[in-house]
Amino acid sequence: MQDSQAAPAASTESLATPEELYLDLLKKSLSRYLHPEVHQNLSTYLTSRRLSLRLLLYLRRLLAPIHLDLVVVRPYDPRARAEGRDFSRELETMIGLKRLDNLQFCVVDVLRRKVPGDLIEAGVWRGGATIFMRAVLKAYGDQERRVWVADSFEGMPAPDPERFPDDAGLWTAGIDAAPLEDVRRNFARYGMLDDGVRFLKGFFKDTLPHAPIDRLAVLRIDADMYQSTTEALTYLYPKLSVGGYVIVDDYGAFEVCRKAVHDYRKAQGITEEIRHIDWTGVFWQKQG
């Protein structure tokens, strides 16, 4: 496997076209790299540390009459943000600048080489990566392709250890849940909610087998679990055009995701080189 040589953040001095400048600005906005938040709501702070919320509730009742809330000042590490290693619920995407750079490369490359097919992300959280996909198509004047936004919008499915024993013991209830209405509002905020966007609401096992997708040029999977990663590959990879790209976000972060990728590739005889994007994301180009 080969490591990507992408820089953490593109310098505007190296960007030659209006499209590149616009997309660079959008990446830094979606990831809050451009305007990093330095305050975190205290409820998120306490929950992340598994502390009791009773103190928070008590203090909020005291402050409510004077219209104040409680926040904590948190440090901002631009390298961690560029690599998608930190977390805030203010973000539209957690994947960081390196993986957004890779997504831009893949979409622009299939556009230039006229690789047929739509774009999809399976597992979208708050929609940032799919918003960016739609923006790339608009920036380069593509009016034919669609962006498919596939998610339960209710969190990950409960583990099914009988069919997928690798997921046994995972706790998934409510993790990474962003309601469809919130995701649609995020698309609208960036001017990307139009006829070129299609939403597939539901767990992958229910939506992907019957999704009205003919061909794909870019398949991005951000599904964490063995089951969800396997289902996304099983139902979508056969629709990926030769010359198209598959991107797996959680390859380095979750062993079960990595195993699902290798098991699928072995079963299908896929030998294309897996290339690293950063500490967790990988991609490969379909050759045949």
Q: Which residues contact 38 (CB under 8 A, 6 or more apart)?
A: 73, 74, 75, 76
Q: What local confidence, expressed as pLDDT, does residue 72 receive?
A: 74
Give DSSP secondary structure letters for 40-107: EEHHHHHHHTT--SHHHHHHHHHHGGGT---EEE----HHHHHTT----TT-S-SSHHHHHHHHHHHH
What's the pLDDT score for residue 42?
62
Burial pattern 225-234, b for ≥16 Cβ within 10 A else e, equals bbbbbbbbbb
Q: Which domains, and CATH codes, for the chain?
A: 2-31+91-285 (3.40.50.150), 39-73 (no CATH)
Tokens 């008590």, located at residue: 58
pLDDT of the residue at 165: 92
DSSP 8-state symbol, 154: S
Nearest to residue 32, comparing CAs of 81, 95, 65?
81
State the pTM of this model. 0.87
SS3 35: coil
* Cα–Cα distance, 127 to 120 (Å, whole number): 11
11, 13, 17, 22: CA torsion to nearest 10:
40
> According to the model, what pLDDT value does residue 118 have?
99
Residue 190 CA to residue 154 CA, distance in Å, equals 23
What is the full per-residue pLDDT of the chain (288 aa) written as tens digits? 544 434 334 445 566 899 999 999 999 999 999 887 767 666 555 554 444 567 777 777 888 899 887 777 777 889 999 999 987 778 899 999 999 999 999 999 999 999 999 999 999 999 999 999 999 999 999 999 999 999 999 988 888 889 999 988 776 555 568 999 999 999 999 999 999 999 999 999 999 999 999 999 999 999 999 999 999 999 999 999 999 999 999 999 999 999 999 999 999 999 999 999 999 999 999 998
